[in-house]
Structure 1
């Protein structure tokens, strides 16, 4: 029986997608629920999976733009696919070291042919750390899928290795070769480009800045990090504190959490924050729901789960839709200051930056403190200066005195004494 596998729909408003690349070859035997290809839409990367086991016939070439529900491939289910035994030779071979694999080769092969085939066998015999193997097993990733997620090697990298092996520096062969690589933009990147231009042309975007003394928060995190890891199994990051602080202030200043819909202003009574994360396919912005009602442990848990999905390319369209506000952290790349672009249809975005020890005036004395610049870009059509500047001041207050995350705008002593 021949089964037609059609291109899935990523969302109601999307009619075309790009079949980015096939994970299997034409004529391969595939198993039910096996990932066959990666499909890129305007908003997310999806997987094309096999509904049944059988022999694959590819209909659409990689890199092609196709309509939703078009036939991507066919599977002949009459072809029997052997089951993979737990101790199959293929799996046993994957556990062998390169030396063992060489020893296990048939003696009849010519030395020249063996030398030519050795590079092709390298990915199978590639060594990995126990942590890497456990992560791949948890996410259902093979070594080949991980390697495919990396950037391709060019002759530059090969020349660099040869030059270093020969004892040279940067090497003359790299300088002599002047190549220009040409690569077609993906649907995801094209849509991102359109959205960035849209923000620039269709919003009255302004950015306001402030600086935050991170001393108290870093001391608190350092003091309780071990206890936190012991209880929850993962560390708490600085971003989670900013997410919690931003959510509290967004409820206090709802206009920063609002968005324009034509001539109407939409103001949610909840806070869903989009968090910019870097993945193999580029920048993704998954959403943490109901941040205002969650504790730091739950926020950090959601962050960890979404980050793992972004890294493995498994984040769904639903998980990237519906945010009311965005947080981005350029500090992880060393950024000192930036003006982040609004993520439409939202009206504001908070930018974190790197932490640098700088001299600051504290009670009339100069002290060295770990300082971070923060930025809020906002649509001035909807958000006035009072709310934008006040938002950063309120976030700054909660980060510089983390107890304010428990007591809000009231002093901890006043809360204790109920005055």
Structure 2
């Protein structure tokens, strides 16, 4: 057998270090080839490190939470040529240990039974005047016979004496239980727990502070009538799902509307880089996704060339990978504009924070039936607020408001998306 190094994989260029998230095995555990040994967390994704051979985890050099570098040795794997032999030997040792423990336990149990029988005989000698029913109650409620005094003239114990003692004992027990439960409930409301922040959560916090401190961020609002899109989904939703194998959601409409707006207002698809402005002639849109580890923004590349079915399919794929912790570095790199949909959680209105180095982000919200004035009449319509946050250093009010109005028009009249107007 030989010892194999367990190494930290190569990290992305923008990531200098990582931390140990969790070890799935402990020293001495038998592992199989390609079985995940440890998960390593970077600022963006979690990387799984599998076993390179069958063997036994010999030792761990870096425990959970340790900061590690690329290609660093974090443990050793003892390679085994014949894993079945190891298992058989382990089983034999376990059986021998189990047999020895069982023999010892059996002898201890026998000694305890003998002591109980002796003690019982002594008590019977002392209390041979007790009736069988009294003895049964004493045994059942574990009463101390030496503390029981009879109330008759000869101080003999009768059944009423035993019952009175049992009733008093139960009353005291109920009071104690009630007090204990009450104290437990009171203390349970004052529990504190300290948990270290994950690297992803730290990075999110850093980027949010960076966006607030380093940009001149403003937010402009508008509202959109979602009735036309709802009608399209109701009319063609089943046919769309049957044809493409994916449900027709709202996000594909949002993405298509954003792309048309960015084509007309390229400043919102640009970055500030020191004293320069970088304009992009392609459309990579980040989609904010909530995961168990925090908010991430995977990217839809070249969305202008994607169909609505492609968009829905890709968003579902990224959401599933985010939920399962399977997002890769390439899923998160890039992005020129972000869409975040707080409406899925019930948000009516918000001011989304920029996703650096991007210059704009669009917030979608919950769709609510509200009374609206339409051609001089009050009607109930499914309305949604739009919020566009932007960096005022690059984008003026004309571009930001014009972009938001363009999104509104595309959503209220989806035929514009087909006619490119």
**In 2, Cα distance between equivalents of 1:209 and 1:273:** 20
TM-score (norm 2): 0.74
Task: Report what 2:155 is aligned to.
Answer: none
Call closer, same or farther: CA 1:81–1:390 in 2, change over 3 Å: farther
**Residues 154-181 of structure 1, C-alpha deviations (whole Å, 9 max, x = no match):** xxxxxxxxxxxxxxxxx98444321110
| Alignment map for 1:98-109 (pairs within 5 Å) | none
Task: Report what 2:251 is aligned to.
Answer: 239
Task: Report what 1:64 is aligned to.
Answer: 66
> CA contact under 8 A between 1:276 and 1:286: conserved in structure 2?
yes
Task: Report what 2:353 is aligned to.
Answer: 341
Q: 1:61: how far off?
A: 0.6
**Residues 125-145 of structure 1, C-alpha deviations (whole Å, 9 max, x = no match):** xxxxxxxxxxxxxxxxxxxxx
1:201 to 185, 190, 213: 213
> CA contact under 8 A between 2:246 and 2:309: conserved in structure 1?
no
Task: Report what 2:325 is aligned to.
Answer: 313
Q: 1:288: how far off?
A: 0.7
**In 2, Cα distance between equivalents of 1:23 and 1:314:** 17
Extract unaligned runs of 5+ from structure 1. 84-108, 111-170, 410-419
Task: Report what 2:20 is aligned to.
Answer: 19
**Residues 359-392 of structure 1, C-alpha deviations (whole Å, 9 max, x = no match):** 0010110000000001110101011111110111
**In 1, Cα distance between equivalents of 2:34 and 2:297:** 27
| Alignment map for 1:334-373 (pairs within 5 Å) | 334-373=346-385
| Alignment map for 1:215-294 (pairs within 5 Å) | 215-294=227-306
Q: 1:281: how far off?
A: 1.0
Call closer, same or farther: CA 1:29–1:221 in 2, change over 3 Å: same
Task: Report what 1:323 is aligned to.
Answer: 335
Q: 1:68: how far off?
A: 2.3
- SS, match of residue 34 in structure 2: coil
**In 1, Cα distance between equivalents of 2:209 and 2:3:** 45
Task: Report what 2:79 is aligned to.
Answer: 77
Call closer, same or farther: CA 1:366–1:305 in 2, change over 3 Å: same
**In 2, Cα distance between equivalents of 1:280 and 1:191:** 15
- SS, match of residue 227 in structure 1: helix
- Report the RMSD for the aligned CA atoms in angstroms: 2.0
Q: 1:67: how far off?
A: 2.2
Call closer, same or farther: CA 1:230–1:172 in 2, change over 3 Å: farther
Larger Rg: 2
**In 2, Cα distance between equivalents of 1:400 and 1:322:** 30
2:191 to 169, 172, 179: 179
Task: Report what 1:89 is aligned to.
Answer: none
**In 2, Cα distance between equivalents of 1:220 and 1:44:** 37
Q: 1:42: how far off?
A: 1.6
Task: Report what 1:43 is aligned to.
Answer: 44
**In 2, Cα distance between equivalents of 1:344 and 1:293:** 25
Task: Report what 1:375 is aligned to.
Answer: 387
- SS, match of residue 362 in structure 2: strand
Task: Report what 2:175 is aligned to.
Answer: none
- SS, match of residue 226 in structure 1: helix
Task: Report what 1:130 is aligned to.
Answer: none
- SS, match of residue 199 in structure 1: helix
**In 1, Cα distance between equivalents of 2:227 and 2:401:** 22
- SS, match of residue 42 in structure 1: coil
- Quick check: which one's helix share is greater? 2
Matched, 1:6 2:7: yes
**In 2, Cα distance between equivalents of 1:39 and 1:71:** 13
Aligned length: 326
TM-score (norm 1): 0.75
- SS, match of residue 417 in structure 2: helix
**Residues 19-50 of structure 1, C-alpha deviations (whole Å, 9 max, x = no match):** 11112222222222222222111222221222
Matched, 1:189 2:207: no
**Residues 261-316 of structure 1, C-alpha deviations (whole Å, 9 max, x = no match):** 11111111111111111112111111011111111001111111111110110000
**In 1, Cα distance between equivalents of 2:282 and 2:207:** 25
